[in-house]
Every structure is written in C-alpha cells, then in structure tokens.
Amino acid sequence: MAAVAAIFIVVAGAACSRDHGVPGVKTVKPDSVPALRGGGPARSPRLANYKIDARLDPSKHTITATETLTWTNNGASEVTTLPFHLYLNAFKNEASLFMKQSHGELRGATKAADGGWGWISVESVQVGGVELLSKWKITPPADDKLFPPERLAPKDETVAELALPTPVGHNETVEVTFKFTAQLPEVFARSGYKGDFNMVAQWFPKIGVRSGPPGAEHWDCQWYAAHTEFFADFGVYDVTLTVPNNYRVAATGVLVAKNDSAGNTHTLQYHAEDVHDFVWMADPWMNVMSDKAKLEDGTTVEVRVYYRGEQKDFAVRHLQAGIAAIERFSAAYVPYPWPIMSIVDPPVDAGGASGMEYPTLITTAGDSVFARPGVRLPEYVTIHEVGHNWFQGILASNEFEEAWLDEGVNEWADTKVMDETYGAATSGIDWMGWQAQIFQLRRALSTDPSALPSPIATAAYAFVDSANYGEATYVSTMRALHTLEQTVGPTKFAAAMKTYAKTFAFKHPTGRDLFDTLAKELDQDLSWFFSPVFHQVGGLKLAIRSTSCRPGHPDRGVYGDGSNRKFVSDGESKDKEKEAGSYDCEVVVQSTGVVHVPVDVEFRFADGSAQTGTWVDHGDSWKRFSLQASSRLVEVRLDPENKIGIDSPVTHHERLDGDGAASMRAAAWLASVTQTLMGVVGP
C-alpha cells in the first residue's frame, strides 16, 4: 500500500464532482492476448488455483459466488487441515482485530461508516461432493506470541479452518468447493463501495501459504491486523463476473469472453496466470484511456487508466507515470510478465480504496487541487503501486512477517524510477521555480530512524503504532538501501538487485535471501550493515563533536640538557609562525548509534581551499582528524555528497568562529538546518 499520500500532502479538494447523468451500456471487447506475454511456460509452481463464478448486486453491494480451489501440497509432510483467510470479516464488527487496532481508521484520512459493515458468509464447503460445513470452524486468535494480550480480539473471524476427511500427502491435490456471499463494507480500507463505485478486493475464501523446511512445514495464515497486508501462493484464476451491462469493470488478468445475460446484465470471463490474487472494480461512470509501454525486447504492455470524467487531467498523468514505471522496472529487474496493467483512479469520495497494489491492477491516488502539474504526488503514487507488481506481485514476500521487504525495497526503487523519469533534481517537485528530488523530499519529511522504538525488520503486527510501522517499513528501509547503494557504488548495487529479482521471481523470498544475494554479488561481508540497520534500534547518530584551529608554530619549551639546553620562546615561535604561515587544526567526529558506516568529511579553509578525509573504521565511535593548512579552517561538513540517508543531517555541518568557540554552535546548527531545507526544496 502507498503511504506516500498521507506523508506528503493532506489530499483535499480534488477535482469537483458533477452530475454524471444516466450511464449507458458499456461496449466490451475481449482481450486478444494471452494471460502471459508471449505465452510460454508457467513462471510459478501454481499451487493454489481458483475457479470463481460471481454476481454483483449493485444496490446492496453484495457478491454471491461459487468457488472451486484446487490446491497442491508441495511439502514433505501431509496436511489434515486447510486454513483460509476471510478478510472481509475484518469489517463485520468492532470486535475484529483490524477494527480494535485501527479504531476504524486507515492512514488517518478515512474512517469506517457506522452501518457500512462488511462480511463474508460461507454457506457450503465440500470436498469430493461431500458437505463439510460442520468441519468448517472460525479460528480466533489464540493467546500466543503473535499478538500481545492487549491486542487480542477473541471474536475475530478473519481465519477459518477446514478439517479434511482424508490427509493430503506430498504432491497430492485436493479440490474444495465453496458457496459464499460477500457483503462489501462502505470503503475506508482498501475494499468496499462508495455510491456506485465498488472495489472488490480480498473478497473470497483464500487459502494460506505452507512454509518452512521439508518435513517441518507450517501454515502462514494470520489474522487480518491493522498494519498487515497479504501473503498467498501463485496460481491460475478463472473468474466469471456477472454485472449490470452499464457498469465498467477492471479486473486482474485478461478478459477472454463476454456474454449478454438476462435482466440488463452481462457476464465477463477473466483468466489470469501466475498471480496470487484476483480483484476487480465495477462502476457505471468510469471511462478508460490507454497506451503502450515499450519494453527493451521490443514487446509492449497495454497500460489502462480507469477514471471518472472530472479526473481526466489526472488520468493523463497517471497513464504517463504508469508507462514509465512498467518500462523502467522491467529494465531494472525482470520484464513485466503480463500483457496488461490496469490503473484505477477511484472517485475522490472513495479515497479509502486508493493507493493499493494487486497483480496486474492497482489503485492510485493524489488527485488534488494542490497537486499542480510539476507537484508529482499523483505520479509518485502510481509509480509506487505499479512497482509493487515486482516486489509484491512477482517476488511476493511474506508481508505479514517482513513488510519492509516489499514496501521499503519498493520505496527505494521508486525513487530511482522517479529520478530517471523526471530528472534527479526535479523528481519530486518542479513547480513555480521550486525544485526537489524525491528522495531528499521523502527524507526531509520523515522521522530520524534513530528515534524509532522498533527496528525495520519487525513483523508488521508487532510495531508499537502505525507511525512506527510506516516510518520503519517504508522510509527507513528506503534510506538504508540508499546508504548502502552509495557506499558500495550505484552500478554494482543495481546489478546485485537485478540478480536478486531474477533469482527469486515467483519464489517468495525472505529478507535473508536479499541479504545473502547482496553479500554474494557485492563480494563482501555486509553483516556490519544489515544487522544493526535492520534488526536493532538506535540507528546512526553521526555528529561533529569538536573543532579547533590555531596558528602553527614550532614546539615551545626547553629542549636538551646541560650546555645543549635550548629555550624556544613564545616570541620566537610567533616570528616563525609568520614565516611559515601555517595552521594546526583538529576535528573530532563521533558516531554514537548502533550503526557505523563509512563517512566522508570535507574541510574548507578561509582561502577557499579544501581537503577531504574518510572515516572507514566501522567499529570505533569517534575519529580525530589532524590537519595542517596554510589558511584557517572555517567550515566542516560530514557526508558532503549526501551518500548517507539513515540519520538526521542537521548535525552534519559546522562553521568555525575564531578558534571554534561554543558561542557559534547554535548559529551553526541553524545554518545547517536552513541549508538542509534549501537542499531539499530550492528556488
């Protein structure tokens, strides 16, 4: 999910609404492309395959459906129970874990509507034609390590288990058939309706993921918590949707057939391969515009934007950003494997559905009177969500346990795409003479990582609050990867990240897989960086501890003994000082956090000359630089090229007054803050 909208701007007053008139029957043509670009073999193991037949009631915002899941056990141990997610039950009442933790709010901007509840009701579950509804049990959170006692929601109904009549052994397959009804909530958190707009996400019984070493596998099928998103196996989806024929639909995969039905409805058949979810949007007022993204191999991807008429100007911006994202992420990692990318721009009053990623379909955000052309919030949200089709859609890590591996790595990659697309100096803002780079803007508007109480590699459910989750998962991860990239070199780092993506595409990688790949590809032990940055609190606390600069002179005092005793006087030293014209300067730099990274130090002198030094020892907490120069030291700057992104830069700069008196420290701090801000947004 994109947290960027809430971080940058409180989006308000987007394009004015208007009377849309009467919706007409929509012309629908099947897509004449295969579900995978160029066809070809399966990219994933395809362990969880679904056939769903669903009908939307547009007045009640309900979906009645049948579902057949074909699941293969690729583990070494047999399976006697299948767990399923029932995500919509998070919106059933205020006793759910999601509602208790979120208090009915998401991102501080949308709230649950009293009476707009949502749920999923399973009316039948069968295996081999035998009804097993009596074996279908809701499993509320237990009093265990997953959720601290104060967060438990004993009445949570977002996970259920089915006891199987016969165990499923290694490489064996089981087929489970459901009948269910899904009631959409009034949207405030990803899935739901607002007026005639329906965002149908996390809407069907969805099996968990079996993880772990052979013979010791376990199920990952956790309850839907406020900070957690989703984790699922790849498969093939064949989904039939019956909707009013004056509604426009966007959905995962490709449209393979369209049939007219009775009662002013039509039936749309979608097919998707090597995806781990299926979502769809239905709305009578949506328009669609499209264009092609061109990949390096000469093939293309169709990018579609679904929008209401009053949002057309923003739709153009989202389309351009979506095309850039497909092209640049494909070049940097692995080519986008599907033929279509759908970008849904929800109505302004359905903001709760905005800024969310799904395979081959994303929802965007940022349409606002404040987002003038050149203020690139809409573009950034689109690029962020499209980017998830790599770090969540293709790599598909466990967001419940390692949210940073998707959200934060994607956030770092987004800044690269923004810089390449809009220019490094103007990738965040280029408006009315004001310019800002997206990374520096994100950094300036975020919290100092050393102030966060939970480290980056904290399970999503275990963060102390949403602020800690958002800062650590998104921004601190982005800042950490930027720092490592600048430390080892951008070209080498880009190649290592590409290897990671190619190696683990469709394989559910872990954080350890990323760390090991980077260490191998960069040919160095990076434990000095990964351990403190991702697993410890305290961060990097880098500062200039002291500065001094005095006129140089020969050492004074008494030298030798007896007749060889010689006195070097103060007056004598002054005469020699004038002849030498030298200065002896000293600077002490300290690093008192748990993270120690190489840091460049720049020394500037009154005559305009400069020297540089580098502190490379990762273990020491301080470093003394002794300098000799022909002119007085007037300025010291840490990290002059902004390579380090994981601490606050306000302690990185100091100007000397005379002998570096303490009276100038406050002024130096203020100058540092001012210069930092001017470096982020400069006229």
> How big is the chain, counted in residues?
683
Angle between helices 490-504 and 477-488 in degrees, nearest 10: 120
Q: What is the pLDDT of residue 571?
A: 58
Check whether 243 has a pLDDT greater than 60: yes
CA distance linking residue 547 with residue 603, whole number of Å = 11
CA distance linking residue 519 with residue 531, whole number of Å = 13
Domain ranges of the chain: 43-284, 542-680
Radius of gyration, alpha carbons of the chain: 30
- Taking the chain, what is the end-to-end CA distance rounded to the nearest angstrom? 32
Q: What is the pLDDT of residue 572?
A: 55
pLDDT tens for residues 572-604? 544 444 445 689 999 999 999 999 999 999 999
pLDDT tens for residues 328-381? 999 999 999 999 999 999 999 999 999 999 999 999 999 999 999 999 999 999
**pLDDT top residue among 112 and 99:** 99
- Please tell me whether residue 138 adopts helix, strand or coil conformation: strand
Q: What is the pLDDT of residue 344?
A: 98
DSSP annotation string for 286-312:
-EEEEEEEE-TTS-EEEEEEEE-GGGH
Q: Are strands 622-629 and 583-591 parallel, antiparallel or unpaired?
A: antiparallel
Spell out the SS3 assignment of 503-522.
Answer: HHCCCCCCHHHHHHHHHHHH
- Closest CA relative to residue 185, chosen from 54, 307, 87, 306: 87
What are φ and ψ of residue 235, in 5° steps?
A: -175, -165
Q: What is the pLDDT of residue 316?
A: 98
How would residue 617 be classed by pLDDT, with cut points 50, 70 and 90?
confident
How would residue 567 be classed by pLDDT, with cut points 50, 70 and 90?
confident
Q: What is the pLDDT of residue 12?
A: 40
Looking at 3.40.50.720, 3.40.50.880, 2.60.40.150, 2.60.40.10, the CATH number of the domain 542-680 comes to: 2.60.40.10
Check whether 214 has a pLDDT greater than 80: yes
pLDDT tens for residues 265-291? 999 999 999 999 999 999 999 999 999
Check whether 657 has a pLDDT greater than 80: no
**pLDDT top residue among 657 and 380:** 380
Q: What is the pLDDT of residue 660?
A: 40
Check whether 674 has a pLDDT greater than 50: no
Angle between helices 490-504 and 312-332 in degrees, nearest 10: 90
pLDDT tens for residues 134-171? 999 999 886 555 555 555 556 899 999 999 999 999 99
Residue 57, amino acid:
D
How would residue 651 be classed by pLDDT, with cut points 50, 70 and 90?
confident
Q: Output the CA torsion sign for 531, 535, 536, 539.
A: positive
pTM of the entire predicted model:
0.90
Check whether 671 has a pLDDT greater than 90: no
Q: What is the pLDDT of residue 556?
A: 77
CA distance linking residue 490 with residue 413, whole number of Å = 12
Looking at 2.102.10.10, 3.30.1360.30, 2.60.40.1730, 1.10.3720.10, the CATH number of the domain 43-284 comes to: 2.60.40.1730
Q: What is the pLDDT of residue 349?
A: 93
pLDDT tens for residues 171-208? 999 999 999 999 999 999 999 999 999 999 999 999 99
DSSP annotation string for 209-249:
EEESSTTS-EEE-----TT-------EEEEEEEEEETTSEE
CA distance linking residue 636 with residue 651, whole number of Å = 11
Q: Calculate the CA 41 to chain-centre distance.
A: 30
Q: What is the pLDDT of residue 109?
A: 54
Check whether 44 has a pLDDT greater than 50: yes
- Closest CA relative to residue 401, chosen from 152, 200, 145: 145
CA distance linking residue 524 with residue 530, whole number of Å = 12
CA distance linking residue 372 with residue 397, whole number of Å = 35
pLDDT tens for residues 604-615? 999 999 999 999
CA distance linking residue 403 with residue 473, whole number of Å = 6
What are φ and ψ of residue 429, in 5° steps?
A: -140, 135
CA distance linking residue 251 with residue 240, whole number of Å = 11
